[in-house]
Amino acid sequence: MRPSSDTPRHWISWAMVSPLALVMAIFLILPIAMIVTVSFWQATEWSIVPAFDFENYQFLFSSAVTYKVFLNTFKYAAITWVCTLGIGFTVAYFLAFHVRSLAWQIALFLLCTIPFWTSNIIRMISWIPFLGRNGIANSVLISWGVIDEPLDWLLFSDFSVILAFVHLYTLFMVVPIFNTMMRIDRSLIEAARDAGANGAQILWHVIVPLTKPGIMIGTIFVLTLVMGDFITVRFMSGSQSANVGRLISNDIALLQYPSAAATAVVLLITVLLVIGILLRFVDIRKEL
């Protein structure tokens, strides 16, 4: 049944968008509002007092540990982003421009998703026997004569944390970049080649600029996932390192919910600022 001509168009628009707006309000806006509210409460040894106070934020910003943990979080995010971008761009480029058959493209792309058939924790823990002091990596290096004694920094270190992050989140960089590359008009590449451009020039001046929206989407995925992760840092660092997610987890374990909520609010604002800065460079609406 078509609406009558007397019905205002804006009311029809509001009626169509209201179910989705209601879902967003209940499952996104309301939980965030509750976290922000709890972040201003006070916590004692026995109870939580719903009183408006800036004590949690004052303690958070006056602690040297906070800045060290945030710096560590940015370090993990930056290094992981560089590694996943390099691997993700290479894999996507190979699938999009070197695999001619669509069937093979789909098959190889699905092959990249095989690790996601198992739990993140299982994939992460699987590195422990490989990187351990008596693990496969050290045994192979010693048998080849590369090293004389096992390397201790392979496991329970920043190296193992970043390795696990790259293993877990590279696919989030591959997918959007591959999707963007598949949309590139191949006639543009042919035109650049006819104009005398070599492979490197075509890559840098044609493919990379046209792939920027996909790179930006992958960057947002990887940065937000790494900055909010805590279980990977806990297991792969052997509890010797920490990030903001681990800080929040520790507060929750100690029943310090207001402090955890305040840290979560600061982390959320930080992530939103990073995303806002990234979106000023590339318009990703073309990919959405």
The total number of structural domains that make up the chain = 1
In a domain? residue 21? no
pLDDT at 265: 95
pLDDT at 119: 82
pLDDT at 45: 73
Q: How far apart are CA 265 and CA 271, in angstroms?
A: 10
pLDDT at 1: 46
- Range(s) of the domain holding residue 152: 63-286
pTM for the model stands at: 0.87
pLDDT at 32: 93
- Tell me the average confidence (pLDDT) per consecutive run of 10 residues in the chain, 288 residues long: 57 82 90 93 82 89 91 95 96 89 85 81 88 89 88 90 94 92 89 88 91 92 92 88 90 90 94 90 67
In a domain? residue 216? yes
In a domain? residue 51? no
In a domain? residue 265? yes
pLDDT at 158: 92
In a domain? residue 40? no
The CATH number of the domain holding residue 96 is: 1.10.3720.10
Q: How far apart are CA 33 and CA 270, in angstroms?
A: 17
pLDDT at 287: 56
Q: How far apart are CA 246 and CA 70, in angstroms?
A: 11
Using alpha carbons, list the distances in angstroms from residue 102 to 2, 87, 107, 111, 226: 43, 21, 9, 14, 32
